[in-house]
Amino acid sequence: MTTIAEEVLLLAHEESTGKPLVNSTQLDPALGGALLAELAITGRIDLAGKKVVVRDTTPLGDEELDATLARIAGDSKERKPEWWVYRLSSAKLRRRLLTGLAERGVLDAEHRKVLGVFPVTRYPERDPRVEREIRERVQSVLAGSDPDERIAVLLAVLHAAKIDRKAFPGVRKERVKEIVEGAWVGDAVAKTIASINAAILAGGAAAAGAAGA
């Protein structure tokens, strides 16, 4: 079973080369947001006003999700989704998720040097069945099937980070908007996800602006 963050990560990389389809300023906020989004749809967190609050501290059995839940629960202040997306987004999180998928045999870790000097690691797929199953579920929904809660949230995160158009070339904007804005999750969760996705969009834009400053 993959988490939403892992599914975002798989869809954001080219299968055979492991090359990312988007830059880290888009991908990293999406991964942080995906962690929060999964905690929301599993009933672990919610919004109280505009702040993230913990509703249930029961672990989910995933290292990253449980660490994130414990971190939020242990904070002395209630924070906005934007704050948590910013705090959770990092190259370290991305590498941990990639390493975890490699350890489970989903990806390969290929170490090489650019120009014979600069080390880089690429993560091409070892077991294509995992991403294929995710793609089939998403493409079925894009073609008109009703999404379940997880697919709706996954597409919302991909859309907020502008990964959807890279992962699914030719996708109809109208269908994505219909899913993202549809009533596929309860009102409370929908508001939380909307706040998280606004934070992903803002985080990517801010990072891109800082890079270009």
User: If DSSP states are collapsed to H, E and C, what string results for 100-148?
Assistant: HHHHCCCECCEEEEECCCEEEEECCECCCHHHHHHHHHHHHHHCCCCCC
| pLDDT of 204 | 54
pLDDT of residue 205: 52
Q: What is the pLDDT of residue 208?
A: 40
Encoded amino acid at 103, one letter: E
- pLDDT confidence of residue 115: 67
- Classify burial at 19, counting beta carbons within 10 Å of its beta carbon; exposed 0-12, middle 13-18, buried 19 or more: exposed
* CA-wise closest residue to 105 among 138, 129, 136: 129
Instruction: Provide the pLDDT for residue 210.
Output: 34
Q: Are residues 180 and 159 in contact, defined by beta-carbon separation less than 8 angstroms? A: yes
Q: Which two tokens stand for residue 187?
A: 């009102």
**Structure tokens given for 163:** 């990964």
pLDDT < 70 stretches in the chain: 114-116, 203-213
Distance of CA 68 to the CA centre of its chain: 14
Q: Torsions phi, psi of 135, nearest 5?
A: -60, -40
Compute the residue count for the chain: 213
Which H/E stretch holds residue 66? helix 63-73
- The CATH label, of 1.10.3630.10, 3.40.50.300, 1.20.120.420, 3.30.70.20, for the domain at 4-204 is 1.10.3630.10
- Return the pLDDT at 50: 87
Identify the burial level of 149 via C-beta atoms within 10 angstroms of its C-beta, where 0-12 means exposed, 13-18 middle and 19 or more buried.
Answer: middle
3-state secondary structure of 57: coil
- Residue 121 has what pLDDT? 86
Q: Give the pLDDT confidence score for residue 48 in this predicted structure.
A: 87
